[in-house]
Structure 1
Amino acid sequence: MPRSPAPKSAGILFAILPLAGAIGLGLIGEPVIGLLAGLALAAVLVTLFWLIDSRR
């Protein structure tokens, strides 16, 4: 029986991107917007990773 490849994990993006956004936009005085933008970007990227990985 052929084995399917192991699924990829992109959950680390939920840890890195919100922090990077909060720090990056925190430098100009908008840390909450950076946090939310990081979360939104992480959600989009993780969804794309999942869609691509589910087709393998």
Structure 2
Amino acid sequence: MAAPRNPRSLGILFAILPLAGAIGVGLLGEPVIGLVGGLALAAIIVTAFWLVDRRR
């Protein structure tokens, strides 16, 4: 019998990381760079977890 699949949902990272990046880098005067960096980091993390979940 196959084990049930329980995929992870990491969509919250697309809300938290861009905000954290905008605030963190915004303190240095460049909030847009932080926003884009946060989105990029979220996309990388979510893609990595998706690839791992796909193998399970």
Same fold (TM over 0.5): yes
Is 1:53–2:53 an aligned residue pair? Answer: yes
Aligned length: 56
Cα distance per residue 1:1-56 (max 9 Å; x no partner): 42422111111110000000000000010000000000000000000010001111
- Counterpart residue number, 2:7: 7
Unaligned runs of at least 5 residues, structure 2? none
Q: Determine helix, strand or coil for the equivalent of 1:7.
A: coil
What TM-score results when the alignment is normalised by the length of structure 2? 0.92
What TM-score results when the alignment is normalised by the length of structure 1? 0.92
Cα distance in structure 2, aligned partners of 1:6 and 1:45: 18
- Percent identity, please: 71
Q: Determine helix, strand or coil for the equivalent of 1:14.
A: helix
Q: Determine helix, strand or coil for the equivalent of 1:10.
A: coil
Unaligned runs of at least 5 residues, structure 1? none
- Counterpart residue number, 1:35: 35
